[in-house]
Structure 1
């Protein structure tokens, strides 16, 4: 500072004040000596006066110069309320889109609806399931997550013509059909398996009444991660791992050889997407040890999540239909069926599509598109529309249950059983498609055998006559 004073002794100071920033230049020694001391009170009183008047040593700048101010003079006052309303609506629209993208797994899977559903117990629904016995079993998914299974079958007991281990007295084992069930997200039992068990038990009862001990049927229902007593959080990637782990467990437990033990996959609603996705993974070229699947049941299915968004929300001003690029759960049955049709085992698989006539969640066009796609791909597909049924009632009503029973009996129960029925009753064998007459003949056969031979039921595979039945 002293060096600057010596270099320019005649320099006069200037002072500028702009928006709370004061730029001053150091005064010379001569200017400091010419300043007369003033009382402090006079200095304070004259401070504001100096800031508003010309001063030989100060240069005042307008602090508001260069500032911008918000004024409604440009927009008419009558347009201000509509603009504010539109701005708030757009803000809410984008906020809702953001929340749906971030929390989409919570919206799609709803693992805690209805309340306290995860505390349901099998024992609470045991009365409605009898004589079918259900048990809970826990396994580990591919990533180590603990998941739950519900396994239902008729309790084994010693029956005429069969030993306790399921072997017939002539040394041959009875057939065993295992059905893997993948649940949907329907209300009121979106997240828990126990409320579904009474309805899943009805097909088992009907099958047992029609076949007796000739064929054993077992249902293995998977509880996805985050549901019921399973751990973890639901997501498409996690559920796919759970389904594949359950399939491997079924293969190791029941020894699926395709002859005596067969596997059917049954998916309901979003579970139909799980079923087709599992089938695609199992038949893909990357599968090291594919499991032999013998049939697929798709109950109230949809094509994929994007098509569902467009079908449920056709209004173009709603945000849902535009959020498909951000989906993390696709469940694309269309892609899965195309991949399955490229494999020889997939082309030989029979498919059954069950749809509800009054489905309030999945439009009937979704099942129509899947059926048309399967026919175009050359798949063996059949369709059953349950009249008067809502989304959750397709297999609760008797029409839907009978469709499942007919599908399983037609495809997986040994034809020789029906041969025996018609031979014993002295009637010619019916045509292949007349399954109603076959079922009636089988029931009549059991009655005749009980009357003639004291409770002996229809025994085993190759065609036999009444004499062989009497020897048994």
Structure 2
């Protein structure tokens, strides 16, 4: 199957290495429960925290659907650089980014059920790989990835209410409530036909329900909602609604707006990066 976006299979991590330094990104392979071959990228600064670091913060990153992972690496690297620049912070930080099925080098075709399996495999891989006594895990999703982040955490509760024990934070960057709510918000006029197409949506990514379930299992989980000030895709009000959902679910929520940022520019802007860095330092 062609990759998403088109021709992205030819993109190489090495093409962005100079922009990422001193962060090093390593390709990892895993398989989802249905056998689909997936690609992960694991990034960290070798000297950051060092082998003797008492605590390790691992961030699982779920991308939006606008591009593949390699072009995002310089921006993700800037987050790690910002964390490493604080001499008072001796913790080690690592980002593990998932390439969904059908994206970049991952095989298969993208769909919500499939991506949920991809996220499940990634969270299991992270929990198995890193020492449970020294590691805190935070999950970060951008745009549709914010839906992946919240839904994948809620899905862990299918097996045990204690499965969120190792998770310390959740970042929702330019999120939407769910696909149905977003469609209606985009087309509020009742005379337009588009708002009535919700029964035909192939995915839901219902962050509202997921956050409610997360709150029932782990109240006080720290949540950062990042809103783009000039978001041209997600309608105004979606982040505010999710903030209310988090508060009602007794999650420890903080919502920040990044002025002047378009939908994909939150972590490009200095203020957006600082919000993310401070949040990760706080967990």
Q: 1:236 aligns with which of 100, 107, 112?
A: 112
Offset from partner CA, 1:15-59 (integer Å, 9 cap, x none): xxxxxxxxxxxxxxxxxxxxxxxxxxxxxxxxxxxxxxxxxxxxx
Bigger proportion of residues as strand: 2
**Residue 254 of structure 1 contacts residue 261 of structure 1 at CA under 8 Å; is this kept in 2?**
yes
CA offset digits 1:393-424 (Å, max 9, x no partner): 1111000000011111122xxxxxxxxxxxxx
Q: Which residue number in structure 2 is paired with residue 368 of structure 1? A: 240
Unpaired runs of 5+ residues, structure 1, are: 1-109, 168-172, 412-472
Whether the 8 Å CA contact 1:256–1:263 is kept in 2: the answer is: no
1 CA distance for matches of 2:113 and 2:96? Answer: 21
Structure 1 residue 236: Cα displacement: 0.4
Structure 1 stretches of 4+ moved >6 Å: none
Q: Is the 8 A contact 1:111 1:234 kept in 2?
A: no
Separation (CA, whole Å) in 1 of partners of 2:88 and 2:81: 10
Pick aligned residue for 1:123 from 8, 14, 37:
14
Task: Say if 2:92 is the partner of 1:220.
Answer: no
In the alignment, what sits opposite 1:154? 45
1:66-93 deviation digits (Å, cap 9, x = unpaired):
xxxxxxxxxxxxxxxxxxxxxxxxxxxx
Please list, as runs of the form range in 1=range in 2, the aligned pairs for 1:102-141 lying within 5 A after superposition.
Answer: 112-113=4-5, 115-141=6-32
User: Partner of 1:296: helix, strand, or coil?
Assistant: strand
Which residue number corresponds to residue 160 of structure 2?
287
For the Cα contact (< 8 Å) 1:141–1:241, is it kept in 2?
A: yes
8 Å CA contact retained: 2:215, 2:221? no
- Residues 246 and 322 from structure 1, CA distance in 2 versus in 1: closer, same or farther, beyond 3 angstroms? same
Is the 1:133–1:152 contact (alpha carbons within 8 Å) kept by the matching residues of 2?
A: yes
The 5 Å alignment of 1:21-100 reads none
Give yes or no for the alignment of 1:339 onto 2:235: no
Rounded to whole Å, the distance in 2 between the matches of 1:304 and 1:290 is 24
Corresponding residue SS for 2:237: helix
The one of 226, 230, 245 aligned to 1:358:
230
The equivalent residue for 1:307 is: 181
Counterpart check, 1:263 vs 2:263:
no
Cα RMSD, aligned residues only:
1.9
* Cα distance in 2 for residues equivalent to 1:136 and 1:293: 23
Change (3 A) 1:289 1:407: closer
Of 116, 124, 146 in structure 2, the residue corresponding to residue 272 of structure 1 is 146
3-state SS of paired residue (1:143)? coil
Instruction: Please state whether the residue corresponding to 1:278 is helix, strand or coil.
Output: helix
Q: Which has the higher helix share?
A: 1
- In structure 1, how many angstroms separate the alpha carbons of the residues matched to 2:191 and 2:180? 16
Residue of structure 2 equivalent to 1:104: none
Higher relative contact order (CA 8 A, sep 6+): 2
Asked whether the 8 Å contact 1:226–1:232 carries over to 2, the reply is yes
Mapped contact 1:226–1:233 kept (Cα < 8 A): yes
Cα distance 1:111–1:347, how it changes in 2: closer, same or farther (>3 A)? farther
Q: Deviations over 1:123-154 (max 9, x none)?
A: 11111101100111110011110000011000
Q: Matched residue of 1:123: which SS?
A: helix
Give the drift of 1:365.
0.5
| C-alpha contact 1:118 1:191 (8 A) present in aligned 2 | no
Shift of residue 350 of structure 1?
0.5
User: Counterparts of 1:256 and 1:409 in 2: how far apart (Å)?
Assistant: 19
SS at match of 2:256: strand
- Cα deviation per residue 1:334-379 (whole Å; 9 max; x = unaligned)? 1111111212xx2021000000110000012000111112122222
Verify the 8 A CA contact 1:111 1:191 in the aligned structure 2.
no
Contact 1:371 1:383 in 2 (8 A): yes
Q: TM-score, with normalisation over the residues of structure 1?
A: 0.57
Q: Higher Cα Rg: structure 1 or 2?
A: 1
Taking structure 2 as the reference length, the TM-score comes to 0.94
Q: 2:57 maps to which residue?
A: 177
- Note the C-alpha offset of 1:325: 1.5
Contact 1:297 1:351 in 2 (8 A): yes
Distance 1:211 1:338 in 2: 37
